[in-house]
Homo-oligomer: A and B are copies of this chain.
Amino acid sequence: MNSDEFRAAAHSAIDQIIDYYDTIESRRVVSNVSPGYLKPLLPPGPPADPEPWADIQSDIESKILPGITHWQSPNFLAFFPANSSYPGILGELYSATFNSANFNWLCSPAATELETIVLDWLARLLNLPECFLSTSKNGGGGVIQGSASEAICTVIVAARERYLHSLATAGTSVEECEEVIDNNRSKLVALFSDQTHSSTQKGCQIAGVKYHSIKVPGSATENYVLTGPLLRKSLEELTVRGLHPFFLTVTLGTTGTCAVDDFASIVPVLKDYPNLWVHVDAAFAGAALILPQYQHIPAPFEHFDSFNMNMHKWLLTNFDCSCLYVKTRKHLIDALSIAPSYLRNPFSEQGLVTDYRDWQIPLGRRFRALKIWFVMRSYGVSGLQGHIRNSLRHGESFAQWVRDRADIFEIVVPPAFALTVFAVKTAVREESNCLTKVVYEAVNADGEIFITSTVIDGIYAIRVVGGGPKIREEVLRRAFSILVSKTEEMLKAEDAPKLNGVNDAKGVTKINGEDGENEIKLSGVSTIAEVEQGVKEVVQAGIPGIEILASAVRE
């Protein structure tokens, strides 16, 4: 493809992309292809000789788009949003063009320096404590990671190394230090509430450390929040068992219900556990910190070690763009640099030169700061704030509509950050769980909107979350109407409705979740009683944040 061919191809692609965005609402939001749909549509291997772009482009519409779940559709109310924006797309375009590996400063100084600059801009927008800025005395700063899960794994590794080396710094020899570390490696334990996203568990698995989940209480009037006293109790129990608590994830906006942990009550506990690395997972809700009414929240974070939010969720920056901040970059570099510390330049730890490869798991990195820069400039602070305010207003409207239909719906937790979690109201919990699931599956099977479900404290609930820039009040109105009519239909049905396509061998066979982490496939169930039984088994299995995807219930 030469330059002229590329100009024609790219212009044609841009037209297709604009058309896709302008008409996205008319597409079925969640793909309903069957597993394996694509292979028969493609040849068994690449062509021997070049194909023209026109042939490739036409295959996008005919072969790829049927298999796309349209995350940018205003009818996408599932998981959390993954905002795209035109300036974000342009950022990806230029990043692909420069295509430098950016593992160190010299690979493209602009890539490193713009990242430092825009992450400082973002830190101030979010009102993070000064200690997380690149200019802080303590040597903090931000780095773009691919995902919150990657960010969390990275800080778990840094925390593990900090903890282990703190055990071994008593003027002993290298061999003695190593022995101390070896003897204690298996005693390390990370903590999190049972509402914490599974990425902390996964990070622990990768880092090879134990983990402990703290059950937190909640209700329709109090969200499921980790508090200082609950944390202290777990810390003491673990210590008694001979384990070393070294890491804690606290959350600003849990995946299931957007709970905000009680940071203020957690801070005093840390005085007794000075070596505990505290990470704030604000992957989704962190974006709301750019609004004045939330800017008091980050004040306690100055007592914590790291903070993460994803611009690629709710802040109009295309995936991937997860912004991780640390209070002391030295801890990242100590764990992740392959240079022995005696050969490292103190300047790089002080921020004169930053080699971001030592702040992350991979070596190479894309030039992702460009898209943040484009987005911030194209929207301005007012535009970004306006977007978040819109989402919040829509969320409040939706929650109010649910409350107004207290005859058929119950609110499960206090609505927060554009998320409403609710269930079908019946006298008996088992019946509610079952009906909510049936409504949820029927709605997704129709495919006019895409929603997610969750199981919270034994309650099967529907999650509706806005946040997409294309969402308008009338779109949400329609979504609510769909939910109401499905619910009324199910409540009226005299007999248990038969579920489609779920008549194979029985049993719980697959799990997945509201952020993809837990999913249950109930095969062989064809009556509500059987679905109910399946849900019960899953709830008993104690897996947090469960959802059951209707469209996954097929073979």
A30 to B110, CA, bound (A): 12
Nearest chain B CB to A176's CB is how many angstroms away? 14
A265 to B97, CA, bound (A): 42
Q: Is the Cβ of B157 less than 8 Å from the Cβ of A206? A: yes
A264 in the interface (beta carbon within 8 A): no
Pick the interface stretch among A50-58, A167-175, A488-496: A50-58
Which residues 310-339 in A have Cβ within 8 Å of B in the complex? 312, 318-320, 335-336, 338-339
Assuming A93-B89, A150-B362, is B47 touching A380 (CB within 8 A)?
Answer: yes
A415 in the interface (beta carbon within 8 A): no
Residues in B with CB closer than 8 Å to A1 are 85-87, 378
Assuming A101-B319, A320-B366, A355-B512, is B551 touching A48 (CB within 8 A)?
Answer: no
A10 in the interface (beta carbon within 8 A): yes
A481 in the interface (beta carbon within 8 A): no
Would you call the interface of chain A mostly helix, strand, loop, or mixed? helix
Which residues 68-88 in A have Cβ within 8 Å of B in the complex? 68-69, 71-72, 79, 82-88
Q: Which of the residues B9, B56, B104, B380 comes within 8 Å of A512, measured between beta carbons? A: B104
A299 in the interface (beta carbon within 8 A): no
Q: Is the Cβ of B35 less than 8 Å from the Cβ of A109? A: yes
A293 in the interface (beta carbon within 8 A): no
Residues in B with CB closer than 8 Å to A508 are 343
Q: Is the Cβ of B3 less than 8 Å from the Cβ of A10? A: no
A88 to B318, CA, bound (A): 18
Assuming A31-B109, A202-B363, is B56 touching A378 (CB within 8 A)?
Answer: yes
Q: Which of the residues B72, B104, B370 comes within 8 Å of A516, measured between beta carbons? A: B104
A395 in the interface (beta carbon within 8 A): no
Closest to A149 in B: B363
Nearest chain B CB to A84's CB is how many angstroms away? 4
Q: Is the Cβ of A361 less than 8 Å from the Cβ of B363? A: no
Residues in B with CB closer than 8 Å to A98 are 68, 71-72
Q: Which of the residues B147, B198, B364, B379 comes within 8 Å of A338, measured between beta carbons? A: B198
Q: Is the Cβ of B96 less than 8 Å from the Cβ of A160? A: no
Nearest chain B CB to A185's CB is how many angstroms away? 5
5 contacts between A and B (CB under 8 A): A48-B380, A69-B109, A343-B508, A344-B511, A345-B521
Residues in B with CB closer than 8 Å to A92 are 92-93, 95-96
Residues in B with CB closer than 8 Å to A516 are 101, 103-104, 107, 355, 357, 363
Q: Which of the residues B33, B60, B312, B377 comes within 8 Å of A47, measured between beta carbons? A: B377
Q: Is the Cβ of A361 less than 8 Å from the Cβ of B35? A: no
Nearest chain B CB to A236's CB is how many angstroms away? 22
Closest to A71 in B: B100
A320 to B102, CA, bound (A): 11
Closest to A371 in B: B96
Give how many A residues have a beta carbon under 8 Å from the other chain's beta carbons.
154
How many protomers of this protein does the assembly include? 2
Q: Is the Cβ of A361 less than 8 Å from the Cβ of B361? A: yes
Assuming A104-B512, A362-B146, is B381 touching A47 (CB within 8 A)?
Answer: yes
Q: Is the Cβ of B353 less than 8 Å from the Cβ of A35? A: yes
Which residues 144-185 in A have Cβ within 8 Å of B in the complex? 146-150, 153, 157, 160-161, 181-183, 185
Q: Is the Cβ of B13 less than 8 Å from the Cβ of A7? A: no
A379 to B357, CA, bound (A): 32
A541 in the interface (beta carbon within 8 A): yes
A186 to B179, CA, bound (A): 9
Nearest chain B CB to A370's CB is how many angstroms away? 8
A480 in the interface (beta carbon within 8 A): no
A518 to B344, CA, bound (A): 10
A208 in the interface (beta carbon within 8 A): yes
Q: Is the Cβ of B18 less than 8 Å from the Cβ of A3? A: yes
Q: Is the Cβ of A160 less than 8 Å from the Cβ of B60? A: no
Q: Is the Cβ of B18 less than 8 Å from the Cβ of A14? A: no
Residues in B with CB closer than 8 Å to A297 are none
A1 to B84, CA, bound (A): 12
Closest to A3 in B: B18
Further 10 A-B residue pairs, CB within 8 A, beyond A71-B108, A147-B363, A198-B338:
A11-B11, A31-B106, A45-B124, A56-B378, A67-B109, A72-B98, A153-B361, A161-B205, A185-B186, A185-B208
Nearest chain B CB to A61's CB is how many angstroms away? 11
A427 to B171, CA, bound (A): 46
Q: Which of the residues B67, B207, B348 comes within 8 Å of A510, measured between beta carbons? A: B348
